[in-house]
A and B are shown apart, each in its own frame.
Chain A
């Protein structure tokens, strides 16, 4: 058997196991359950956007922080993190437009803060990103990007149907459904690049994925609780 591949496959297995648990638990979070049942109100959608916005803003910031924690031996990976942060760091503006086109209040948008779940998620991300060579964050990316790749389209279509919205009004989620797949491919390549030679990293990636998944759920469970 080819060693590096086996190591990356083992990490992928752990990540998919975590993902599967995460996704099915997601379906039981009250707001998601209501979306799936077709019981969403327009006000709920605004609430989701407002709460999600904080994490989207923070997302590219912690990726940038992580990039600055990567030393020169991993310059190639640092480039990847920087590119990734660059691609995403203004994504929240798309979300803002969605919010305003569904009647959201601009004042409220600009003054919004993190809900208590987002606080925990963000604190965790920045803490991990501040450690030297924080490649365990690949596990966090798998969960968050995976949500875009596997869930965002269903999510966008459901919201669109129930609330009779145009594609432009749910464009943030549709955009992520279209673009996050590339990131998963990148992740696989990164896992095969030799970083797994660092003993213990595989287990740290898996654990960071588990913690991130739990805190992501918390963020959704605490919608509107600031």
Chain B
């Protein structure tokens, strides 16, 4: 088996950073009425700025694939590689631009580089780790020498008023159902990418990948963040594709993106349990983790969970949490790559330091973790 190293990272954030006050200028208001929950939701999720791939008039400035391709280009440059040297492209996203064919094909098309191996992952946030693990195993097995992994999201297109107006009445528009409204203030657009190779780059910092773990708990949870059905109850919700026409699905509210909050909170202990089982399996000590990169905020952990973690000797001190959610927004599958990119760019990483990445997915309950060690070649 070969080793696997992250040798470069890149990002693409469309347009300017937008403040909380500007959100509705871009994604619009349902039935022309501003939501009464905006300020409260933003206080809760703590996001201060984000980027959108649409303009104020609702024009689409990019595609999801184009953003992903831009991030791959930036990561490739950071790794000091030619684009044409990429032998494997593993992509991740919540929703590609087209229903068919696969998203990775679209990203390859945008890159315009010679034929290569392709892997296309569609899930929610954790699709990033699925794509990464594919590349990691591929490099370890010696199948390829240069792999590009990207995560990208174009969430804002879900949030245009037209996506809701069949299921939110004019009377409700000021106070829309929370399962629909919350995500409008939470998710935004962007792309991130990393390059994975069997050797560290010849100068500067690379990240050796020690292990990547991922588990699904869909055996015990219904869909929590979902689109394509108007209910997450298996008794009532039916897939959008089972309606007579796509228009019927839209009229019945099956095309909006939703989040079931109650279910979300029930997932926290499961994620914690999985984290503890990985502590046992890999015998790592929280005190030895230098940087913890959670796609998650310390605030949403809650006091009770924190107490439990401390009693289990599992709490990574909060000053070691590194997270750029508040400035780049919640970008789903792009998020972990955007964090790694910023960490590599802004932190003074020293050889031997360790990084633990955590990507939970509320979609239908997935958790994933990745352990990295900083290596540095001379001339850093």
Contact = CB atoms under 8 A, between A and B. Distances in A.
A16 B276 contact: yes
A52 to B, nearest CB: 21
Contacts of A6: 313
Interface residues of A, number: 22
A25 B311 contact: no
Contact of A24 (B266, B277, B280, B311): B266
B274 A12 contact: no
Interface in B308-332: 308, 311-314
Given A27-B221, A27-B266, A37-B233, A21 B311 contact: no
A74 to B, nearest CB: 22
A150 B280 contact: no
Contacts of B313: 5-6, 9-10, 12-13
A44 interface: no
Q: Classify the secondary structure of B's interface with A.
A: helix
Interface residues of B, number: 22
Contacts of B273: 16-17, 19-21
A23 interface: yes
Contacts of A27: 220-221, 266
B279 interface: yes
A23 B220 CA distance: 10
B49 to A, nearest CB: 34
A188 interface: yes
Report which residue of A5, A20, A25, A27 has the largest number of chain B beta carbons within 10 angstroms of its beta carbon: A20
A8 B279 CA distance: 15
Given A24-B266, A24-B269, A13 B221 contact: no
Contacts of A150: 269, 304
Contacts of B137: none
A17 B272 CA distance: 8
Given A6-B313, A9-B311, A12-B313, A17 B270 contact: no
Contacts of A17: 273, 276-277, 280
Contacts of B314: 9, 13
A23 B265 CA distance: 12
Interface in B249-292: 262, 266, 269-270, 272-274, 276-277, 279-280
A224 to B, nearest CB: 22
B62 interface: no
A19 B279 CA distance: 16
A6 B312 CA distance: 9
Contacts of A5: 313
B60 interface: no
A28 interface: yes
Given A37-B233, A150-B269, A188-B311, A24 B276 contact: no
B274 A20 contact: yes
Interface of B: 217, 219-221, 233, 262, 266, 269-270, 272-274, 276-277, 279-280, 304, 308, 311-314
The 7 A-B residue pairs with the shortest CB-CB distance, nearest first, are A20-B273, A9-B313, A12-B312, A24-B220, A20-B269, A13-B312, A13-B276
Interface of A: 5-6, 8-10, 12-14, 16-17, 19-21, 23-25, 27-28, 36-37, 150, 188
9 contacts: A8-B311, A9-B312, A12-B311, A16-B308, A19-B273, A20-B274, A23-B266, A24-B221, A150-B304
